[in-house]
Amino acid sequence: MTHKRILPILLVLAAVLQTTLMAQSRPDTTFKIFQFPADQIPRIDGDVSDWDMVPASYEIGTDQLVDDNGNYTEPDSSTLAVKVKVGWVEGMNRLYFLYEAEDDFWHFNETGLKNDTYEIVVDADLSGGPLIDRFHPNTRIGKWDAYFSFHGVHAQNYHIFTPPVDKDWTLAWGPQSWIKDLPYANAAYDFNFEHGDSGKLTLEFWITPFDYAGAEGPGRAVKSKLYENKLIGLSWAVLDYDEGGGQDGFWNLSAEHTMYGQASELVMFRLMTMEPEFKAPVEAAWDFKVIDMDRRMVAFQDESEGEITSWNWDFGDGNTSTEQHPIHQYEEPGLYVVVLEVEGPEGKDRLSKVWDVAVR
């Protein structure tokens, strides 16, 4: 084999290896992101009953965190106890979070950064690498050039204030502050305590992860695509301030403190398929693509769920097929009603699409 042929192969292998290692903190652990049914999307209102359907196996608690300040040999739930669940909805490029925390001293009476905080970092395409200005790999770039061209662009960091009394709900760390507002994010809190009190805080929110989120605004932004079984990089830290403003804990899900600015130090999360109890045993679904409009050729793609043993297509022009993924040629222009009926050991289902298929 010549060197000219070996080099491209090595480059491909290096790229695959790099993608595998991008989110490499805790390499033996992959956390789960719950898939909500499309008709049961959690309402962001502070009422957490929407999350009752999420199994306990999705919960990530204090026992999974590392005390980064070294004050404790293991997490001290008497000082701060947290529970987090993460969800997603197929077809919506959003990550939903439920954060519940009980603290012996809630600190939030200052207007600046010093506030009890839930800090999350997300890298949904596993691009990895640094994401804040001072970690820019080119040390010749000035701080402000790095900030406005690089900081938070390919992975995002949110300093979420718990609670955000007299301030915005989060600092989106970088020049793209628009990512923390609708239509890209939303949040709601429930708590009943004053600064310095103990008590419980509940926070529901969702964010939109971006493969590209530049300082110029959302016009050129690229949302991260979320789909079943996708792996993403995600981690969080819980900053716990106590009386006098000193930190009583800096709890990390990642084993690396600098995960706040290094996407390669995040933890792997998987976007899960829907739990069986929320799925119909057989559900018809299909899509199509016009592959040759001049010849009116349409390729149909079965996307049904469940154990399927037979497919029956009605193309709306008097023709049918029992193939799973048929290609059909229409003789005449028109708007067609196409129906797919599927059947299996656990039942049958049918899906009709009215006038989606159009040829001229």
Residues constituting the chain: 360
Give the C-alpha separation, 62 to 197, whole Å.
20
Average pLDDT, the chain: 91
Q: Are 207 and 95 in contact (CB under 8 A)?
A: yes
pLDDT in the model for residue 249 = 76
Give the C-alpha separation, 185 to 182, whole Å.
5
pLDDT in the model for residue 57 = 97
Residue with tokens 């915005």: 168
> What is the radius of gyration, based on Cα positions, of the chain?
25
Question: What are the extents of the domains in the chain?
Answer: 21-275, 280-359
What single DSSP character describes residue 196? Answer: T
What single DSSP character describes residue 262? Answer: B
21-275: in CATH 3.40.50.2300: no
Domains 21-275 and 280-359 fall in the same CATH topology: yes
pLDDT at 67 over 80: no
pLDDT in the model for residue 77 = 76
80-84, 104-108, 231-235, 246-250 — which is least confidently predicted?
246-250
pLDDT in the model for residue 339 = 98
CATH of domain 280-359: 2.60.40.10
The residues, any chain, with a CB within 8 Å of residue 221's CB and separated by 6 or more, are 176, 210, 212, 213, 214
Local structure of 333: helix, strand or coil: coil
The residues, any chain, with a CB within 8 Å of residue 26's CB and separated by 6 or more, are 254, 255, 267, 268
pLDDT in the model for residue 2 = 43
Residue with tokens 């690498």: 129
Give the C-alpha separation, 148 to 197, whole Å.
39
Give the C-alpha separation, 160 to 156, whole Å.
12
Read off the pLDDT of residues 219-244 as tens digits, 9 standing for 90 and up.
Answer: 999 999 999 999 999 999 999 998 87
**10 Å Cβ neighbour count for 221?**
18
Give the C-alpha separation, 189 to 98, whole Å.
10
- Residue 33 dihedral angles phi and psi, to the nearest 5°: -115, 120
Q: Are 124 and 133 in contact (CB under 8 A)?
A: no
pLDDT at 4 over 50: no
What single DSSP character describes residue 272? Answer: P
* pTM assigned to the model: 0.85
Q: What's the whole-number mean pLDDT along residues 179-186?
A: 98
Show the DSSP H helices in the chain as ranges: 3-21, 143-150
pLDDT at 70 over 50: yes
pLDDT at 12 over 60: no
pLDDT in the model for residue 79 = 81
Percent of the chain with pLDDT over 70: 91
Q: Are 152 and 172 in contact (CB under 8 A)?
A: yes
pLDDT, greater one: 72 or 103: 103
Residue with tokens 């043993």: 309
pLDDT band, residue 22 (cuts 50/70/90): low
pLDDT in the model for residue 25 = 85
